[in-house]
Chains A and B, each alone.
Chain A
Amino acid sequence: MSKSRMNIALLIVFVLASALQSFGQTIAPAGSEGKLIAVLKSDASRKEKADACRQLGVIGTKAAIAPLAALLGDEELSHMARYGLEPIPDPAVDEAFRDALGRLKGRPLVGVIGSIGVRRDPVAVPALAEMAQNPDVEAARAAARALGNIGNPAAARVLQYRLEHAAVENQLDICEGLLRCAERLSADGERDAAVAIYDKLREIDAPHQVRAGALRGAILARGGSGVRLLRQHLRSDDYILFSAAVQAAQELRGTQVTRVLTAELNELPADNQILVIQTLAKRADAEALPALFTLAKGGAKAVRLEAIRALPQIGHASAMPVLVQLLADSDGEISQTAQESLAALPGKQIDDAIMEMLQRSDTAHQLKALELIERRRPAGVTRALLEASKDDDESVRTASIRMLGDMGSDVEFDVLVDLLLSAKSTSEIRSAERALSAKCSREAKPSADKVTIRRAVYGAVGEGGSADVTEKVAKMVADGALSITASNANFGDPAQGVVKQLQIEFTADGVTQVKTVRENESVTLAVGATPEPYVDALLSAMDRASTAQKVALLRVLRVARGAKSLDAVRAATRDADAGVRSEAVSVLCGWPSAEALGDVLKLTKTAADRKAKILAVRGAIRLIPLQAISAAKKLAEFKELLPLIERDEEKRLLLGSLAAVPSSEALTMAMSYLDDASARSEACFAIVAISEKIVQQEPGKVINALQKVLGATKNRDVTRRARATLREARKAAGQ
């Protein structure tokens, strides 16, 4: 080989190699068209040529057209040649596709016809007209659809002719082509031509979807005069055409259409009425309301229900009297549906009317009104609910009192306390308790005074930058924020493009904690405390309350939390009344924070009856992990409890708590229950949970423990987690 030939060969190799390197990318580098064309002309593999075609589809110019077109007849690469050619805007592509029509057969021909359709080449209409007669069914069908895409009058004429003369198996595609033509013509303002096509398709014995589509098009393309056609087909005995007309009505605007629909309503069979009602609801034209009111009040039940459901969709206040009237309907389903519709009917007028209902004398209406109020949650209902809470009827009083706690944001706490103290029946006392508890929960406010920020860091989860944001968080807390969101908006972006987290070490109410959240989540720094005046009011009420009321107040104090509440509960455990004492023990053992642990531990030994002892043991098991002390200390407290644990229920509870203690001693304790059939499942779970936390520190012990778990459990999730942690442990142990 001469030196110059060798240089040329080397150059080609270089060009191809650099082009092939870019095949892993969706977009070829700028200036690579020549290299890609060279690949097409070379003896590169099918894959390499396919990639070059794909990339030329994005960056190819006129220069790429001939090399791509040369592949249209290649059965292996014909599709990819079109893939490259179809998006290139140059008219030479259309010419290349038209040229190919005459020389291709089979699937490549079908593909090229399809591409001509995509490009909507009007010059190709005569050639496609020929193709529409092709004995190759796929080619003929593709031509019909491509002509439809072109959609000019010439294409439409071809398809209309073919409709009369084509083989039955191609008719659906010709109909498709004609529908496409009609859409194009209509969009281009040639409505008469479009209407002519639609009307032709309506006349023939076509499949249902064609006739329905043609009717829809015929109505819409006629514009305002389409309403006449709509009316005609609303009366049709053929449900296909009837439903197509109704569907077309969903796309038509204007009151005239509503009038047509409602005018026909009464003449229709029930099934058809339902379809029209649903359409009227969707169109949401208030003009339909009188007709819907009539249907809602009488007639076939299914039609009535549908008319009632339509009213909130239209959302007009005039529907209210009808719905209120229907609340009293003797048919429960009608009444219930009316109530649901009334509940969703928007507007202050509706709220006012419901308030009026509440003031009526009959209990049934009052209770309906209360249900509606609870569902609608209108503003400013406190006064009405307070009045109702003094009603003669107990069910009205009970419901009103309960709702005051949930909805009466402006009701005075003392008023709720008085309601409890004046409550007579068990249900009223229970409602008042719920109202007070709800009020305490809702208005509990965390106090920034009790929170100290020790350290805060915002940054990447893994490797990457981070920022000390201690001062920023401290200032946010000082300004009253006790929920801090981990976001760039708060702390800037110390690690661009990666997921970040926020870690805050803080002290709340004397307890030090560390909390970590991922980006866009929030850290809550303190649990809210019920305002002190509320607690004082509860304590004051204790002196005036009956036994049943005191029991209820004790439960409210548990929701209120805080030192004062706890003291009061402690005192109640020594009350003269046995019922109060019993409930106080129960409340103490269910106290939500670790402050009660000392009392509960004492109760485990001193409680007078077995039930109280069990409650105390359970309370202690639950409260021990809540303390801010070391794992070793928690474990020591658990060990002290062990002699008191007799029942299987408490063993299982203990194992659940142990799972949260990350120490090898906790692991050992959990393992001691593996041989206990009644607690084995919980033991396995606890061992896995502890192992996951200490795997790096104690891999040897973890390996031993998890091997036993795998022999003892049949739970799939526990097995999966055990195996994963075992792998980690072996890695940590260097095995």
Chain B
Amino acid sequence: MSKKNSNLTRRAFLKRAATVAAVPYIVPASALGLDGKVPASERIVLGGIGIGNRGSHDLRWMLPEKDVQFVATCDAQRSRAQAVKKIVDTRYGNNDCVIYHDMRQFLAERTDIDALLVTTGDRWHALASIMAMRAGKDVYSEKPSSMTIAEGQGVVETARRYRRIYQTGTQRLSEGNFTFCNEMVRTGRLGEVHTVRAHIAPWDAAEMRHDWLPAEPQPPKEQVDWDTWLGPCPWRPYNSAYTRGGWRGFYDFHTSCIGEWGAHTFAQCQVAIGAADTSAVEYNYVNNKTGDGMVTRFANGIKMILQLGGWRGSCGVRYEGTEGWVAAADGYSKPDVSSPAMMDDFRKLVYDYQAQTQRPMSHVRDFLDCVKSRRQTVANAVMMHRSMTTVHAANICMWLKRDLRFDPVKEEFVDDAEANRLRSRAMRDPWII
């Protein structure tokens, strides 16, 4: 490589050699004096990896944003890629969305793409995010965003190494009801918070399946690239049920009922109690199938209890302090509070939060804003990794059927060699980090 001329504008840089990826920043449109209209050269050029059912929701939130232009999607399954292309082309009234099947080719060729929406199955979230960030892309990844503690570390290190913007899809961190609950804690209105409760998914179990579904004839690689679909996970024979969402509940592909919603609710609880950069230090085993009632404890003494029931909606959290409690879940028109007077400050707290953090009440918008401003997102890589570490440790506690202690500084279990071995899984070649 030779010395380069450093005096480059953003898109001029794109004309460089193919091995060189796109310039990572977008000039804030507000500076351009265009009354909110965003010139093509300054839009966030977006692509997608593995956009399926859930990813389509994210895509539909992103497409209406004025400063977004979605240009290409990559998927090991042709039908899913075509479905995404249809959504995008319909939106733009053209036929321009390009389909890729090989992620390495996609990342190497599309140097014009600034950011990627990673909404594969859970098994690919971390690896695809790492590969994308290594290629110079910012990443919005669906959750659960890691399969192991080691994968989460990889995401954090890569984001930090290349100064990439990363957001995990814990969108409740950008919603009014949940923000109110968090601010009730942060501003001390609940007094001394001693207990938080995190909803876990009411299906599946902590112990997951290890069986293989019966082998079916493998479709042509152009339709479903089974080897790529499996990615870093252990090989198993093809069965179409996996590719239709039937991978959930399998150890190789999923993080159990604890990870399914804990990816959201643990993150919410940890942000609320100021533990977004750490993980729980104690995990008390409960003798049931789901982990319901497991008490975890943070270094600051606050308990987080995994709770299956007692909610009227999904992905609920409840924070309890010496002066009262608050709770929210999807489906609650407003938060539950121990005293109606608490709701008097609802607007104040949510507005203050927005003004004091400049975070919008839109998770997607927060990501896009941060792509431009280069500051960390509300659900950044560290927050994702630390809350997912709590998820993984709770799972490991259930698998080993014993209490565990965790050192969040060393990121290792204390005096438990078997638990430590479960912090990582060897990735299948060639999909190694």
Q: Which A residues form the contact surface with B (CB < 8 A)?
A: 23-27, 47, 50-51, 54, 57-59, 76, 78-80, 82-83, 85-89, 107-108, 110-111, 113-115, 117-118, 138, 142, 145, 168-169, 171-172, 176, 179-180, 183, 203-210, 212-213, 216-217, 236-241, 243-244, 246-247, 250, 270-271, 274-275, 278-279, 281-282, 300-303, 305-306, 309, 312-313, 315, 340-341, 343-344, 346, 375-377, 406-407, 442, 461, 486, 497, 499-500, 518-522
Contact = CB atoms under 8 A, between A and B. Distances in A.
Interface in B126-159: 133-136, 150, 157
B162 A281 contact: no
Contacts of B293: 497
Nearest to A55: B210
Nearest to B429: A111
Contacts of A303: 31
B418 A58 contact: yes
B247 interface: no
Contacts of B425: 57, 83
Contacts of A442: 340-341
B257 interface: no
Given A83-B234, A204-B1, A209-B21, A499 B309 contact: yes
Contacts of A111: 426, 428-430, 432
25 contacts: A26-B399, A27-B399, A58-B421, A76-B235, A79-B428, A171-B1, A172-B135, A179-B161, A207-B20, A208-B21, A210-B162, A212-B163, A239-B8, A275-B374, A313-B356, A315-B356, A343-B352, A343-B355, A344-B352, A377-B344, A497-B288, A499-B309, A518-B309, A518-B310, A519-B309
The dominant DSSP class at the B interface is loop
B28 to A, nearest CB: 5
Task: Choose among B150, B430, B433 the residue with the greatest number of A CB atoms under 10 Å from its CB.
Answer: B430
Given A26-B208, A179-B161, A216-B163, A274 B3 contact: no
Contacts of B134: 172, 176, 209
A493 to B, nearest CB: 9
Contact of A239 (B9, B22, B376): B9
A240 B8 contact: yes
Nearest to A301: B33
B430 to A, nearest CB: 5
Contacts of B22: 208
B162 A344 contact: no
In order of increasing CB-CB distance, the 6 nearest A-B pairs are A520-B310, A344-B355, A114-B432, A499-B309, A111-B429, A209-B136
B235 A79 contact: yes
A47 B234 CA distance: 10
Contacts of B210: 23-26, 51, 54
Interface in B1-34: 1-4, 6-10, 13, 19-25, 27-28, 30-33
Given A26-B210, A210-B162, A302-B30, 5 more contacts: A83-B425, A111-B429, A145-B432, A279-B375, A497-B286
B424 interface: yes
A240 B23 contact: yes
Contacts of B162: 209-210, 212-213
A303 B236 CA distance: 56
B381 to A, nearest CB: 14
B197 A520 contact: yes
Contacts of B376: 250
Nearest to B310: A520
B323 interface: no
A375 B348 contact: yes
B234 A79 contact: yes
Interface string B330-369: 0000001000110011011001101111100000000000
A407 B345 CA distance: 10
Interface string B392-404: 0000000111000
Contact of A271 (B28, B136, B310, B427): B28
B356 A309 contact: no
B23 A239 contact: yes
Contact of B308 (A107, A216, A340, A499): A499
Contacts of B341: 442
B242 interface: no
B409 interface: no
A486 B292 CA distance: 17
A58 B428 CA distance: 18
A520 B307 contact: yes
A142 B432 contact: yes
Nearest to A82: B426
A300 B19 contact: no
Contacts of A407: 344
A322 to B, nearest CB: 15
B422 interface: yes
B399 A203 contact: no
B373 interface: yes
Say which size band chain B's interface belongs to.
Answer: 35 or more
Nearest to B24: A208
Contacts of B212: 47
A80 to B, nearest CB: 6
A190 B4 CA distance: 29
Contacts of B373: 274-275, 278
A340 B6 CA distance: 40
A108 B429 contact: yes
Interface in B403-433: 417-418, 420-422, 424-430, 432-433
Task: Choose among B22, B32, B348 the residue with the greatest number of A CB atoms under 10 Å from its CB.
Answer: B348
A236 B351 CA distance: 37
Contacts of A209: 21, 24, 133-136, 162-164
Contacts of B424: 86-87, 118
B377 to A, nearest CB: 12
B421 A57 contact: yes
A76 B237 CA distance: 12
B303 to A, nearest CB: 13
A344 B399 contact: no
Task: Choose among B311, B347, B427 the residue with the greatest number of A CB atoms under 10 Å from its CB.
Answer: B427
Interface in B264-298: 286-288, 292-293
A281 B375 CA distance: 10
A138 B312 CA distance: 51
A239 B31 contact: no
Nearest to B2: A205
Contacts of A313: 355-358
B222 interface: no
B216 interface: no
B190 to A, nearest CB: 15
B52 to A, nearest CB: 23
B84 to A, nearest CB: 25
A629 to B, nearest CB: 29
Interface string B227-266: 0000000111000000000000001000000000000000
Task: Choose among A240, A281, A303 the residue with the greatest number of B CB atoms under 10 Å from its CB.
Answer: A240
Given A340-B355, A518-B310, A206 B1 contact: yes
Contacts of A274: 28, 30-31, 373
Given A208-B13, A236-B6, A520 B347 contact: no
Contacts of B432: 110-111, 113-115, 117, 142, 145
Given A176-B134, A238-B8, A244 B163 contact: yes
B75 interface: no
Contacts of B31: 270-271, 274, 300, 302-303
B403 to A, nearest CB: 15
A497 B25 contact: no
A240 B429 contact: no
